[in-house]
Amino acid sequence: MGEINAMNFTVTYLAYFTPIILTTLVVILVIALRWFTHRERMELIAQGVEPKDQARTEKNHKLALAIGLVLSLVGLALTIGLITLGLGPWLLAGLLPLAIGLAFILVSLILAPAKPKKIKEKEEPKAEVEPITVEKAEEEPILESFRLEDEDEEEQEVI
């Protein structure tokens, strides 16, 4: 009967859902970065290294990454919004912040501190503890193992 123009609905929905999708992606990225940072800190603590040693270099690296992500996403949003007008010089309003944001992200990758190399240490052989088996436990009861040698002498003195 009547044809529905699918293109109009697609552009309309794209305009409504693009900010929601971009915001969701940013939140997922931030959560993932925080999770990896937490795991790295826990590994450093487990190895006995204080995580404060890398704090200053990480701040510069993370600041450049944060600025780059914000600029890139603003530029991407502007580009997507302006592309609905068609191709033209107005797209530069979105493409310039996108390119600058990508440059900041590249700088943050260059400033990223190098991962510390693990030095292989010789492991000392661990003393093996002999497990207690049922047969061994039946041979020597636990209370008998704590019996003092002097008990026999005390009993003789009392008599």
Tens digits of per-residue pLDDT, 13-63? 777 777 788 888 888 988 888 898 889 888 988 998 877 655 556 677 788
Is 0.75 topped by the overall pTM?
no
- Kindly give the residue spans of alpha helices, DSSP state H, lying in the chain: 6-47, 55-82, 92-111, 134-139, 142-145, 151-158
Tell me, what's the pLDDT at 51? 73
The larger pLDDT score, comparing residue 60 to residue 77, is at 77
pLDDT-based confidence at 4, cuts 50/70/90?
Answer: low
User: What does the alpha-carbon distance between residue 104 and residue 97 come to, in Å, rounded to a whole number?
Assistant: 10
Contact assessment for residue 104 and residue 61, using Cβ atoms and an 8 Å cutoff: no
User: What does the alpha-carbon distance between residue 90 and residue 134 come to, in Å, rounded to a whole number?
Assistant: 83
CA 31 to chain centre: 8
The larger pLDDT score, comparing residue 25 to residue 120, is at 25
